[in-house]
Structure 1
Amino acid sequence: MKIFNKDLYWIRSGFFTLLQNLSGVFFSIGSFFILVRILGPNDYGVWVLFMVTVTILETVRGGLIQNALIKYLASEENTEHPRIISASFTISAILTLICILLNLGFAHILSALWKAPELIPIFNMYCFTFIISGVLTQFNCILQANLKFKSIFVSSFIMQFSFFAYVLACFIFNFNIRLIDLIHLQMFNYTISAFIAYFQVRTYLSISYSLCVDWIKKLFHYGKYAFGTSVSAILSVTVDQMMLGAILSPVQAGAFNVAVRLTNLLDIPTNAVAVIVFPQSAKRIVTEGKEGIKYLYEKSVGTLIALLIPGIILLYLFSGIVVNLIAGDNYKDAIPLLHITLLYCLFTPYGRQFGNILDSIGKTRLTFLVVLLVTSINIGLNYLFITRFGVLGAAYATLAAHIIGFFIGQSILKKELNVSVRNTLIFAWQFYPEFYQKYIKKN
């Protein structure tokens, strides 16, 4: 079977990105399988709350510059690239310092809120990782803008494999794992991955050593709403776990995380297509206009729905077996949660591509306002539902927020690009016979 054919755009462009997401989910599930057994419910819940927090801080930094850097590197002349990259590194350095200060400041507050004093030393140690991960993020953005998904896959694979291999060795040889050991491991893995990414990106890494104020302003003004969007989006998918930890306990947050992790198995194609669509849409708006963007949105969403539906059905039918197999007997409470979180997946392609498409046509402020509104609704519903229904309330609240966000997003896209939900469903239906005719029967 010939993969890299000019007629197979989605496979050609997404092969290594999909492979990266597949390997990422495999190693994530594998590490999760081991950690829930080594750490126990309370320590695992503390680890979940820590990772949720640092993920938010990483998103704060990446959200301001990531989409802006990719967009301008993909659309501007090569002569401008050194100045764009230099401006991006400058903004990243400033944000890294801010994130480190926030990390140190929140350590004591969150450890008290979640009644987990062991959080303080691991928050403090993670400050060193922030510096390394900031450099790695810059390298990956440059590679993504140049559609070098294979290079991103290589560095990401090695980092994920190293973490998995360490916890697997500890599990096999019955070594004790402390939470601080996992932070040391992350620091080491980020360092190795950054070195590998450097050798992949150095061809494109032309830096201007002058202070590019004009590009700093341009990247900042484009990215400020994408920044707000990213922060609001990550809060939208993590606030339920954080509020469970504060209102109930880290154990409940850990149980909810089990359901979320299993649902993330279905996010592999969504994440892969999102990475591809953004730089492609930034180019299409210049060459084909809004009609090209409309087709790109409907086709990508339809393809994703077609890929997700079989997985949703299978995971729903065998949810009890999957939870017991992956997480063990301590997390049976995650089974009804999984039934609800699986429904999120039906709305994820619409929401994810909504933000990508609007950002690519310069509507970052509108994306930010929508995501901020939906996140605010999500936070309010989570507080009301958790206090009333317990851990199940978090799942119902987040599902309700997804549904509200879907209707808001589609009404905006209808006005901006004349996007049709009906067309996405038609593309989804056509995907199966088209895939069979082109890629199975033909070969």
Structure 2
Amino acid sequence: MSIFDRRESEVRSYSRRWPAVFGRAAGSWLYGVDETPYLDFFAGAGTLNYGHNDPVLKRALISYLEQDGVTHALDMFTAAKANLLETLEEKILAPRGLDYKVVFPGPAGANAVEAALKLARKATGRKWVAYFRNAFHGMTLGALSVNGNPAVRLSAGTSLAHCLELPYEQQLTGTNGFEDMLADSAGGLAGTAAVIVETVQGEGGINVARIPWLRELSAVCRRHGIVLIVDDIQMGCGRVGPFFSFEDAGIEPDIVCLSKSISGYGLPMALTLIRPELDVWKPGEHNGTFRGFSLAFVTGAEALRAYWSDEELVKSTRTKGERVAVGLEQIRASYPETGLTIRGRGLAWGLQTGDGDTADQISAAAFERGLLVETCGRDGEVVKLLPPLSVTGGDIDRALEILDASVKSALAGRT
């Protein structure tokens, strides 16, 4: 481990929580170089919805490489890009009646958010963007400007202008509602370009927006010509059941940000989906060297064909999510005096503890027992479960057993 201390920046984080050197991975499992197994309920922070080294996606990737397929092409036309766009249209957009143009903004989720913010301002001629308390949209400057955690915002090292924080899930209309707050802000309703929202706040603590609230938010934005941006980077690609997390609400955002599991295999890729009328870019006005990473196009298209040609994955995710919910409720009920609460959708769940120290202790105890779970929330007070969507029922039961023992251990140490 000494090479990491000598050469890697102090900015590293997850490796501090899980001080192991991992050598291989398959399905829902990671293995240390010493072959110690770890059940992965972190899944690359939601990047590995189909698990580690999914065999179907691996075969497609290897085949493409063996044929000397183009690996890097900026935004030139390639067979791999055409295949991805055609598959996205056929398997995702057309069946849902959605009409989006696709921006390839770069390799990471923050690139998708930056493109969305930049385009919303350009298309509307307005400056202000509203975001929500506890939101997380990335760590670049634009994304930080719509981050709802004060401690994270401070990492910018400079002022973050023309943005307004709103309470998540608070009333939208009527006295002191969303419209009133925007009208009273420096930008005002007429100066607000966009609202950016997560239907489930992942890093913010697995805060789940109610369907009526999302519908009302969409209606308010339409009423005032405000661009509605849904950040589906962590909760999209089936994480909460449907491919898009907003489908159950029946809304159609103006812009959708995708990354993480959109490549299917953990390869870097991001997409910004935009309504055609918002496509006001001039050629080259938003670009990046790695916006044409064909290997991600190949696995991304194969994932859409393999897992989104029917409703089986949606049904499976919801069934497994119910299994996780029942297990978490049993854990919560075992410690009634502690005030534990649970919340989530699909296969994104959180166990809220009283404070960040307790959540950290639970995560550490779980690691010692062979389970990877991270923490989230404004103060890191929520233990977060994001297993691969391909996780088996047996692995879910095993994870819940470990989590129960870890909660017991952490709470015993607190008393």
Structure with greater proportional helix content: 1
TM-score, normalization by structure 1:
0.29
TM-score, with length taken from structure 2: 0.30
Would you tell me which structure has more strand in proportion to its own residues?
2
